[in-house]
């Protein structure tokens, strides 16, 4: 049976529930995923004076073929994007600046250092997002940046974040789609602090200075990202969820939720509906924590499906900015991008193929038996046939055929690095 024949049979199953699969495809095409560049080079970046990876982050594995130049990284991203249905975005960190061999410290970065990325994005029809890099630097060696007791160090990082917002604005103006510029910092303490408040006062003051200059959200959207703990900050992180949730609401900034930055039994999916009651928009970094914020490649697990369901059934596809954040050096890095991003899109398609309004009505009526029965039955509806046809229609490999293209790319390109 052909992909189209399987699709036509599956389509009829969903149509019985009033689900228009053709409309679902059109809706899904409009949802961009922000794909993180740092999966391709293990968060190394291209600084002239590179610092050791720090900030409670670790990348494990030594799979051959890591990108070591901007051209290699962009080539790898292009290959990954060719395997992923839809038009998407690429998310950059400040350490991916190109300075032509000149050492430029992070507080001195300018839009011109990202011109190659913008030209590449234009060529490929991509939007760009941005992140200041507040780790892997001598001025972050003790694990403190915007909350540092040393004013000079705080000012350095404040200036870096201001420069980053201007770079995000440049992206938005050049590409016609606003950049999401997201501030995450590693600040915290390994052991139980004797004063939790003072570092948070400093962080708030630093953020206030960073956001003093108003930038039109037509070009740049500001976000702040929390974390529960990291390596070296096991007992206390200055920028907690409660801190940033309050700051974002009070200062009209986006609160970004990273799925790996909470307790192992705490789910981000459960937070989305509550936060959308009080925020026009929110942002996600979708990862897969295994016992801790280990940033495993995203799989089509229960929590990913539940995140997608929360976004879709609450009509929030235009309110939730979806980005990815994982890094695995133990497998082919291009494959990691393809697996994780395809799974994110799969989860959204799955959510769109559920009779969400009917299930809501059953809950309101107190008909929990039928609600549970249908939720379970739809888990084995012929979703795969719909996904395969969507990939075929979007001109990307169907099922596991993409893996052969990755193997060929590894043989012809990655293995020769």
| Candidate list 41, 293, 303, 388, residue with the active-site label | 293
Distances (CA, A) of 13 to 129, 286, 355, 382: 39, 30, 12, 8
Query: Among residues 79, 137, 227, 346, which one is catalytic?
Result: 227
Residue of 169, 174, 222, 225 marked active site: 225
Reply yes or no on whether 402 is catalytic.
no
- 293 part of the active site: yes
| Secondary structure letter of residue 353 according to DSSP | T
Q: Is 76 in the active site?
A: no
Given the residues 93, 160, 166, 285, select the one marked as catalytic.
285
Q: How far, in Å, CA of 75 to CA of 198, rounded?
A: 45
Length of the chain: 417
Is position 261 annotated as part of the catalytic site? yes
Which neighbouring-strand residues pair with 34? 89, 323
Catalytic member of 38, 120, 157, 184: 184
Give catalytic status of residue 58 as yes or no: no
Whether the CB-CB separation of 401 and 82 falls below 8 Å is answered with no
Residue of 129, 258, 310, 410 with catalytic role? 258
Which of these, 57, 80, 91, 1, lies nearest to 322 by C-alpha position?
91
Catalytic residue, candidates 11, 66, 93, 261: 261
Other beta carbons within 10 Å of 15: 11
The question of whether 107 is a catalytic residue gets the answer no
227 is catalytic: yes
Check if 225 is active-site.
Answer: yes
Q: Residue 400, exposed/middle/buried by CB under 10 A (0-12, 13-18, 19+)? A: exposed
Catalytic residue among 325, 328, 388, 410: 325
CB 126 within 8 A of CB 90: yes
Backbone angles phi, psi at 321, to 5 degrees: -90, 115
* Catalytic (active-site) positions: 184, 225, 227, 258, 261, 285, 293, 295, 325
């Amino acid at each position: 049976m052909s992909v189209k024949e399987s699709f036509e049979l599956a389509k009829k199953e969903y149509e019985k529930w009033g689900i228009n699969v053709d409309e679902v495809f059109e809706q899904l095409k409009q949802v961009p995923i922000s794909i993180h560049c740092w999966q391709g080079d293990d968060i190394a970046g291209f600084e002239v004076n590179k610092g050791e990876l720090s900030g409670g982050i670790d990348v494990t594995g030594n799979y051959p073929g890591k990108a070591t130049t901007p051209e290699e990284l962009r080539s790898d991203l292009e290959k990954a994007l060719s395997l992923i249905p839809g038009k998407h975005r690429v998310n950059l960190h400040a350490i991916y600046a190109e300075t032509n061999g000149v050492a430029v410290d992070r507080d001195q970065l300018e839009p011109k250092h990202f011109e190659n990325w913008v030209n590449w994005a234009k060529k490929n029809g991509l939007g760009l997002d941005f992140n200041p890099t507040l780790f892997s630097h001598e001025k972050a060696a003790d694990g403190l940046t915007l909350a540092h007791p040393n004013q000079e160090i705080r000012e350095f990082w404040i200036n870096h974040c201001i420069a980053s917002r201007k770079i995000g604005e440049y992206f938005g103006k050049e590409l016609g789609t606003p950049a999401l510029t997201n501030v995450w910092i590693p600040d915290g303490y390994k052991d139980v602090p004797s004063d939790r408040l003072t570092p948070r006062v400093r962080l708030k003051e630093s953020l206030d200075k960073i956001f003093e200059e108003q930038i039109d959200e037509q070009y740049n959207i500001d976000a702040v990202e929390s974390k529960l703990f990291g390596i070296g900050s096991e007992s206390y992180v200055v920028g907690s969820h409660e801190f940033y949730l309050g700051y974002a609401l009070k200062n009209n900034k986006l609160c970004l939720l990273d799925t790996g930055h909470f307790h192992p039994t705490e789910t981000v999916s459960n937070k989305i509906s509550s936060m959308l009651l009080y925020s026009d928009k929110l942002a996600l970094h979708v990862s897969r924590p295994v016992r801790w914020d280990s940033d495993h490649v995203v799989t089509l697990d229960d929590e990913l499906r539940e995140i997608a369901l929360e976004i879709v059934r609450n009509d929030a596809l235009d309110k939730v900015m979806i980005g990815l954040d994982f890094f695995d050096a133990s497998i082919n890095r291009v494959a990691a991008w393809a697996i994780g991003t395809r799974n994110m899109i799969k989860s959204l398609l799955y959510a769109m193929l559920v009779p969400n309004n009917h299930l809501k009505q059953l809950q309101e009526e107190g008909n929990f038996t039928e609600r549970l029965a249908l939720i379970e039955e739809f888990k084995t509806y012929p979703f795969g046939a719909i996904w395969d046809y969507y990939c075929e229609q979007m001109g990307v490999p169907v099922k596991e055929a993409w893996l052969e293209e990755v193997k060929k790319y590894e043989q012809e390109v990655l293995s020769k690095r």
